[in-house]
Structure 1
Amino acid sequence: MEDSAPPPHLLIVDDDARLRGLLGKYLADQGFRVSTAGDAAEAERQIDAIAFDLLVLDVMMPGEDGIAFTRRLKADDMPPILLLTARGGPDDRIAGLEAGADDYLPKPFEPRELVLRIRTILRRQSAAPAQAAAENAVQLGAWRLDLNRGELRRGGEVVRLTSGELTLMRLLAERAGEPISREELAQATGQAQERTIDVQVTRLRRKIEDDPRAPHHLQTVRGKGYVLWLS
């Protein structure tokens, strides 16, 4: 009989030792493997040694803050990131998502909600290869998007998408040429706010468009939402 897959391994990064301990115990009780770090430098040492499935990262830390750390990690194709912060305003959330975070949860939060968000992100990650089986790649001008790997390729250049960006692109590609409302996209991707879709679209345009301010592929249809044109 084959052994079951090991549980997801999480890294909690927070300078509050008490919160680290409480979160670590709670998440371990929920069936996750858990490691912890007190700041970005300690987290980076662990990331170099261990392949984590997801990072739970505090924004307000001494030294390199969570937003800057997220931006740097995502440039190197790191695992999904869920940001935690006491600053829960819309602008703070948008800043986190623009940095490449997959989700953002303001403090104080209900631990059960944290678990649900973690599982949602992990489920999106694991479901991506199966969902892409029917159509592995789409062409976007000079870019070719591999829907299995979540990679944009143009010659030797490779750009990676976050799990949220890949989920959004998959939905748009499945209905290419058809406008999809922000509300429907938010519901389908598990986002609580439609503005999150706007942020992801802005990030995607920076990756796939020659001129993000005058998009050719990922366009806004006034009063209807967004549409993806393949070529």
Structure 2
Amino acid sequence: MSTSDCRPNGRSGPVAGAGSGRHLLIVDDDDRIRELLKEYLAREGYRVTGAAHAAAARRLMELIEFDLVVLDIMMPGESGLDLTTWVRNKAETSQTPVLLLTARGEAGDRIEGLSRGADDYMSKPFDPRELALRIDAILRRTGGKPLTPREIKLGDAVFDMERLELMRDGRPQRLTEAEAQLLKTLAIHAHAPVERMALSPDTADITGRAVDVQVTRLRRKLEADPKNPRYLQTVRGVGYMLAPD
């Protein structure tokens, strides 16, 4: 099995849900490989964000705390090796595991990658099942971040992700079903931008305006100042992001 075997139907490899919601960043300039890996690893239970080059990856890592980063070495501009060095030298990301993924297979390249601080190394073409197993092994070895809790705190508000209940100052806040599901989706992807259309409960709403309306209503129930939101933030050009305490 190779990268071309990652398909939506049928599955093999690790047990479903093995990722337990861990958040991975896939950095590869090959759109096809990046999307196939996102799809395959999502089916393994991981949250997956993609970046097409090092500059985009830097911006994401400055905004989001990832559990592990998969980097392609051969990218236009800044290489995966240089990005690995940046990850290791930056205080906020220095402990983030890195797995290098590249078409190079020479021993010298592997040694250089590991000397820069990478935790593991795989050569293309590869079996996505092996990649998933290696990611799981790295995360078990390094511990990773704590899993998403059942409840998240948003100032004086608390959202129960299982019961879909919102409390503020000890008083229940009425949520419509659409608002509750939207808030849960944002909570699952806390601190990560979620595209507006991915939040839309109605695929016929190509404008995303229904989501905007729900966000406005949620801010009234969550924020001390809904016009200057602290927790339910707008990410321009993308959608929305929940930033719990």
CA shift, 1:89, in A, is 1.1
Q: Per-residue CA shift, 1:97-147, capped at 9, x if unaligned?
A: 0011000000000000000100010001119xxxxxxxxxxxxxxxxxxxx
Measure the CA separation in 2 of the matches of 1:122 and 1:28.
Answer: 16
Give the alignment's TM-score, normalised by structure 1.
0.52
CA RMSD of aligned residues (A): 1.8
Name the residue aligned to 1:25: 39
Q: Which residue identity is paired with 1:84? A: L
CA distance in 1, matches of 2:29, 2:95: 21
Q: Measure, in 2, the Cα distance between the counterparts of 1:26 and 1:72.
A: 27
Partner deviation per Cα, 1:129-175 (whole Å, 9 max, x = no partner): xxxxxxxxxxxxxxxxxxxxxxxxxxxxxxxxxxxxxxxxxxxxxxx
Q: How does 1:124-203 map to 2 (within 5 A)?
A: 124-126=141-143
Shift of 1:78: 4.7
CA distance in 1, matches of 2:53, 2:132: 22
Report percent identity of matched pairs.
56
Return the match for 1:36 from 50, 54, 69: 50
The residue aligned with 2:96 is 79
Q: How many residues align?
A: 124
SS at structure 2 position matched to 1:61: coil
State the distance in 2 between where 1:31 and 1:6 align: 5
Q: Distance in 1 between matches of 2:104 and 2:87?
A: 21
Q: Does 1:94 align with 2:108?
A: no
TM-score (norm 2): 0.49
Gaps of 5+ in 1: 128-231
Secondary structure of residue in 2 paired with 1:70: helix
The answer to whether residue 103 in structure 2 is matched with residue 103 in structure 1 is no
Q: For residue 117 of structure 2, what is the amino acid of its counterpart?
A: G
What does the per-residue CA deviation read over 1:19-74, in whole Å, with 9 as the maximum and x for residues that have no partner?
11000000001100000000000001111111000000000001100011101210
Q: CA deviation at 1:6?
A: 5.7
Larger Rg: 2
Which SS does the other structure have where 2:131 is aligned? helix
Alpha-carbon distance, 1:75 to partner: 1.1
- CA contact 2:24–2:68 (8 Å) conserved in 1: yes
What SS does the corresponding residue of 1:69 show, helix, strand or coil?
helix
Aligned AA for 1:71? T
- Tell me the residue number matched to 1:157: none
Cα distance change on mapping 1:6 and 1:29 into 2, 3 Å: closer
Deviation of 1:84 after TM superposition, in Å, equals 0.2
Distance 1:73 1:32 in 2: 21
User: What is the one-letter code of the residue matched to 2:26?
Assistant: I
Higher relative contact order (CA 8 A, sep 6+): 2
